Amino acid sequence: MEPIVVNNNFKSEEYFINMGPQHPATHGVLRLLLTIDGEIIKKVEPDLGYIHRSIEKMCERDSYQQIVHLTDRMDYLSSNINNEAVCLAVENALQLEVPERVKVVRTIIGELTRIASHTLWWGVTGMDVGAFTTFFYGFRDREMINDIFEETCGARLTMNYNIPGGLMFDIHPNFVKRTKEFVAHFKTKLPEYDALLTNNVIFQHRTKGVGVLTKEDAISFGASGPVGRASGYSCDVRVHHPYSALDKVKFKEAIRTEGDTFARYKVRIQEMWESLSIIEQLIDNIPEGDHKVATNAVIKLPKGEFYQRVETARGELGVYIISTGTKNAHRVKFRSPGFSNLSLLNHISVGSKIGDLVAIMATLDLVIPDIDR
């Protein structure tokens, strides 16, 4: 009888698997084509376009007032800051000086938006690495900001509160009181965030040394926002090109040098503290005055090219408008932070495990409609 020969020479083979477009860890309709060898990632290719709505094309069709509400739907977690970017671009082109009150309110609302976005990010990051509690705690604190927005703007997510020339309506009488309440409340809650997740041994093991991005790579990939700053790249638009009332406040740019997933996490926690301090510096002396300056019903930009950049919760958003002097833009281009930050995903995740990819994705903090537009 022939002996049965057991072949022990297992040869591992690369294979190919889809992550998304409906994977909860991709936070939206992003499809990642993974080439893996066992658990080890060999290549990550993002496949985009599942939520493309041709916003840039629609901007060529719509009037300048109407463009603003489309930007709500790009990075919906920073909608107020996106609105501000378009409004600033149009105001710069028209050489329109908005009242001081508008500038201060825009800055406060922008920082509130940043905190709201970061609390949501904190919740889902915890959930991605297996800590479900953080999700509820993050949403609890975000709810207070949403209430502030709902009372003043009428909407919770897609605000459309900024208009070229100012704000759609004045802040609600309760705005200052509620914002102060929130700042006091959130100052007691942020240390809890640290105790719950930051110092947690499992979380630290999952994030430290994972997905390291060097400063040179951060610059060459065009990383911005917390992703760039965690690699030691000073790229905060609020510091380098202050807009609205940001030149009046003092704050420290949150920078770390490790460049790993944990550093990106810490940068965002630090940013929430800084945003709280910006709000505190401004909230007590919102100047009196009008909430908008009158613009023509039909806004016509002068002929030329206009660029405005702002710092959203995810990084640098650039709005580039080419005008031929008519009531519609000839071309509008958005430089979105998520797109550049996604481009480095392959670079930093090759060689790590699938579980690490989830942690890396969580701290890149991608919003998919921002990438697809």
Interface residues toward other proteins, by CB under 8 A: 62, 65-66, 69-70, 133, 140, 143, 147, 150-155, 158, 160, 163, 168-169, 172, 192, 195-197, 199-202, 297
* Closest distance of CB 152 from other proteins, Å: 7
Strand pairing class (31-37; 40-47)? antiparallel
Q: Which is nearer to other proteins, 45 or 143 (CB)?
A: 143
Q: Which is nearer to other proteins, 153 or 227 (CB)?
A: 153
Q: Are 32 and 342 in contact (CB under 8 A)?
A: no
Q: Which is nearer to other proteins, 17 or 202 (CB)?
A: 202
The span from the CA of 108 to the CA of 276, in Å, is: 9
Phi/psi at 169 (5° precision): -145, 170
Q: Which is nearer to other proteins, 71 or 78 (CB)?
A: 71
* Closest distance of CB 130 from other proteins, Å: 13
The span from the CA of 3 to the CA of 85, in Å, is: 75
* Closest distance of CB 200 from other proteins, Å: 5
Q: Are 27 and 36 in contact (CB under 8 A)?
A: no
* Closest distance of CB 15 from other proteins, Å: 35
* Closest distance of CB 48 from other proteins, Å: 23
The span from the CA of 305 to the CA of 329, in Å, is: 10
Phi/psi at 41 (5° precision): -85, 130
Q: Which is nearer to other proteins, 172 or 330 (CB)?
A: 172
Q: Which is nearer to other proteins, 38 or 154 (CB)?
A: 154
Q: Length of the chain in residues, anyone?
A: 373
* Closest distance of CB 317 from other proteins, Å: 20
Q: Which is nearer to other proteins, 146 or 346 (CB)?
A: 146
* Closest distance of CB 125 from other proteins, Å: 15
Q: Are 139 and 125 in contact (CB under 8 A)?
A: no
Phi-psi group of 45: left, alpha or beta (phi > 0 → left; psi -120 to 50 → alpha; rest → beta): beta
* Closest distance of CB 232 from other proteins, Å: 27
Q: Tell which residue, 197, 203, 198, 149, has the closest CA to residue 175.
A: 149
The burial of 38, by beta-carbon neighbours within 10 Å (0-12 exposed, 13-18 middle, 19 or more buried), is given as: exposed
Q: Which is nearer to other proteins, 203 or 339 (CB)?
A: 203
Q: Which is nearer to other proteins, 197 or 223 (CB)?
A: 197
**H-assigned helices in the chain:** 55-61, 64-71, 79-94, 100-128, 133-152, 175-193, 201-207, 215-220, 225-229, 237-240, 261-283, 337-343, 345-349, 354-364, 368-372
The span from the CA of 36 to the CA of 19, in Å, is: 12
* Closest distance of CB 324 from other proteins, Å: 21
The span from the CA of 236 to the CA of 234, in Å, is: 6
